[in-house]
Structure 1
Amino acid sequence: MESEVNPRKHRQGPVMLRGKAVPQTTTDERLLDERGPSDWLHADPWRVLRIQAEFVEGFGLLAELGKAVSVFGSARTPRGSEEYELGVQIGAKLVEAGYAVITGGGPGIMEAGNKGAEEAGGVSVGLGIELPFEQEMNEYVGVGLEFRYFFVRKTMFVKYSQAFVVLPGGFGTLDELFEAITLVQTRKITRFPIVLVGTDYWGGLLDWIKATMLPAGKISPTDPELIHLTDDPDEVIQVIREAHETAAREREEAAAARATAETAGNGS
C-alpha cells in the first residue's frame, strides 16, 4: 500500500514548504488560470526574472558595440542653448575619434549627444528608464533599450563605456557621476576618464571637494585627480585618448612582464 502524502509538507521545485506555508494551488495552476489574481506579477521572485531579462537584453544588445563613451547631462537643457550645442559637438567629435555615444536616451543633453553622434554617422545609443512621467526616446537614438530598474541601466553604462563625459545636470547626473567616481576610486572597475564639461557649473563642486572633503580626510590626496574639468570639446577627446593610450601601454608592459617571468620560471 502506498504511503499517504503528508499534507503538511510540499516541494515547489528546489523549495520545501511545510504547514501554513503550503500554497492552496500549484504553480502551474496559478500560471494557467487566467481567472486568478495577478499579484504574482509584482512578487519578488517574478521581479528577479524581470531583472535577469533586462540584463540579458542589455548584454545582448551592447556586447558587440565596440569602444563607447557615455554622455550625461540634464534632460531640461533646451534645444539651441549653448550647453545643448556643446553636447552636439562632443557627440560628433567622439564619433570622429572612433567611439560610439551612449546616453540616457531622453531630451536635453542626452538628445544633444545622440544628435551629434547620429549626424556624424556614428553609433548613437539610448538607454532609457521607466519614469512616473512620460519621457520617450529622442529621435536621434539609433539603438535604444528601455529599462525598468535603475541599477541594471547603470550597469550597462559602466560595462560598455570607456569614459564618462558629464555636462551640467541635476540629481540624476550627480548620481551617475559620483557612482562612477566611487567605482573607479574603489577599483571595482578599471580606471577610466571622467570628464566634467563646464567650469562655471562644476568648478564650485570641485573646489568644495578639494577645500572641504580633502582636508577633512574623507578622500585620498589623489582622488581629485580622477576628475578632469574643461570647457573645450577638443580637450574632452584628448583626455579620453591619452587615458586609453596610457592604459594600453600599461597592459602591454604588464603582459611583457608576465611573459618574462614565465620564461625565467621555465628556465630555472
Structure 2
Amino acid sequence: MNSNPRTPANKAVGLGLRREFLPQLLATPEHGVDFFELAPENWINFGGRPATQLRTLTEKHPFICHGLSLSIGGPAPLDMALLEAVQGFMTEHGIHHYSEHLAYCADHGQLYDLLPLPLTEEMVRHVAGRIRQAQDFLKMPLIIENTAYYGGFRHSALTELEFLLAVLEEADCRLLLDLNNLYVNSVNHHYDAADFLRALPAGRIVYQHLAGHARHPQGWLIDTHDAAVEAPVWDLLRRSEQIFGPLPTLLEWDNQIPPLPRLLEELQNVRPVQEARGAA
C-alpha cells in the first residue's frame, strides 16, 4: 500500500471531502487528514474556484473516488458514459482508486437508494461479470463496499458473507471494508461481526470506513452517517487492526454535518487504535 504516493499509507486517516470545507482545508495545511474520498458524480464537469481548490488538494494528498450511481448489481446495462467520465476525472486528478457499493441503485433512472441484492449464485455471476466489465474498461481493480441492508429475498441461498466472498473471488476485485455497515448488519440480521471479519481475505482490503448510525425504537439499526462513531464500531476497528494490521481508515459523516474541527477531532481518534496495534 505504501509504494505509490497516490495511495494512502497503511496508517493513513481519511475524510470524505465536502465542497464547503475546501477553503478551511487549504488555509490549514496541518489539518491532519492524510487522504480524502469524494463522490466523482459531484465533481465531474464542475468548474470555477471549487475545481481549482480541488486540484490544489489532489496535487498534495491521495484521493479515492467513491461512486454513488454505477449500480453494479442492477439489471440495466452498465452506464459506460459514467465510467468514461469517471475515468477522465481520475486521470485529470491523478486518482488511482475507485470504489462502489455492492448494491443496485438504478433502473431506468436513479433510485437514490442502495438496494439489496438476492444472495444467490446467479447474482454472484451477474455482479462479478459487471465488475469485470468495469475493471476491463478502467484498467484497474474495482473496490467493492459491503453495504448495509434492511431486508432480503426469500430465495437467497447464500449468507451475506458467502455472497461477498464469492463476488470478490469471481470478479477478482478489491474490498472497501465498511465497519459501520458490518456492525449494523450483524445486529439487524443476527450474526457475529467478529466471525465475519476473520473470514475476509486480508489481501483484498484496500481501506476501511467508519461512520455513525441510529437505533430505531424497535431496536434495529440504521446506517445514517449523521453522528459520531459508536463504541461497538470502534471495537470492530480494534479487532480489524488485530486481524489485518493497520489499514487506511476513513470517517464518513454525510448528514447533520458538524463544523470541520469536530470532524477532525473525531478522525484523530483513529490514530491511537493504529498506534496501539503497532506497539503490541
Q: TM-score, normalised by structure 2?
A: 0.26
Larger radius of gyration: 1
Q: TM-score, normalised by structure 1?
A: 0.27
Larger RCO of the pair (alpha carbons < 8 Å, separation 6+): 2
Name the one with the larger helix percent. Answer: 1
